[in-house]
């Protein structure tokens, strides 16, 4: 149990930083290429990382802690980024993380990786639509790049690395 709480605290700190970093990057750089001919706001990768971190915060510290780190991430964002971007992010993160929570919670005990993937898909889409609309970047053509950045680079790659690391630590079975 102690390890889970420690991981939750680390994830909470990383979540807060990732939200503020996402907003700072978007304020500073606007749109960037995320591959496959797609563009996204510069903070997309950091924002996508927050989706997976949210799940770790919930597992280690509980659902109330998730709400606390969302608020702390929003407050830090106001200190380091454009207030309009920070406001768009705060609303988008709050709504998307609540959507993520609703999907993740019932699935996590049955299949953790599937719960992370399903909740991140929902959370990423909700976050993308709300953020782009409020920030003044709205265009359906911006959605694929945002989703590519959040799902592929910030969800599938880390999950793949976690899977590879856990597989490497398991003892080999005799055939």
Which residues are 40's β-sheet partners? 32
Q: What is the mean pLDDT of residues 152-172?
A: 74
Beta carbons within 10 angstroms of residue 163's beta carbon? 11
Q: Which SS3 state, helix, strand or coil, does residue 38 take? A: strand
Better-predicted residue by pLDDT, 16 or 170? 16
Task: Give CA separation, 48 vs 2, 117, 148, in Å.
Answer: 27, 12, 10
Q: What is the mean pLDDT of residues 83-105?
A: 92
Looking at residue 174, what is its pLDDT? 56
For the chain, give the percent of residues with pLDDT over 70: 97
DSSP character at residue 41: E
Task: Give CA separation, 168 vs 108, 133, 173, in Å.
Answer: 23, 43, 12
Q: Which SS3 state, helix, strand or coil, does residue 138 take? A: coil
Q: Does the pLDDT at position 160 exceed 80?
A: no
Tens digit of each residue's pLDDT (9 = 90 or more) over 44-82? 989 888 888 888 999 999 989 999 999 999 999 999 999
Looking at residue 100, what is its pLDDT? 86
Structure tokens at 163: 């899977």
Range of lowest pLDDT (91-105, 138-152, 160-174): 160-174
Looking at residue 175, what is its pLDDT? 55
Least Cα distance to 120 among 31, 54, 32, 45 occurs for: 54
Q: Does the pLDDT at position 167 exceed 90?
A: no
């Amino acid at each position: 149990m102690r390890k889970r709480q420690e991981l939750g605290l680390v994830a909470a700190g990383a979540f807060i930083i990732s939200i503020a970093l996402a907003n700072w990057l978007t304020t500073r750089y606007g749109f960037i290429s995320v591959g496959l001919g797609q563009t996204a706001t510069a903070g997309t990768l950091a924002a996508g990382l927050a989706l997976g971190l949210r799940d770790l915060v919930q597992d280690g510290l509980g659902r109330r802690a998730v709400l606390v780190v969302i608020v702390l991430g929003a407050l830090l964002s106001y200190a380091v980024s454009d207030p309009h971007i920070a406001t768009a992010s705060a609303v988008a993160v709050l709504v998307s993380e609540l959507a993520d929570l609703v999907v993740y919670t019932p699935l996590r005990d049955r299949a953790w990786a599937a719960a992370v993937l399903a909740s991140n898909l929902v959370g990423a889409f909700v976050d993308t639509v709300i953020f782009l609309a409020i920030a003044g970047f709205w265009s359906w053509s911006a959605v694929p790049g945002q989703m590519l950045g959040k799902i592929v680079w910030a969800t599938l790659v880390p999950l793949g690395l976690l899977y590879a690391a856990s597989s490497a630590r398991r003892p080999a079975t005799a055939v």
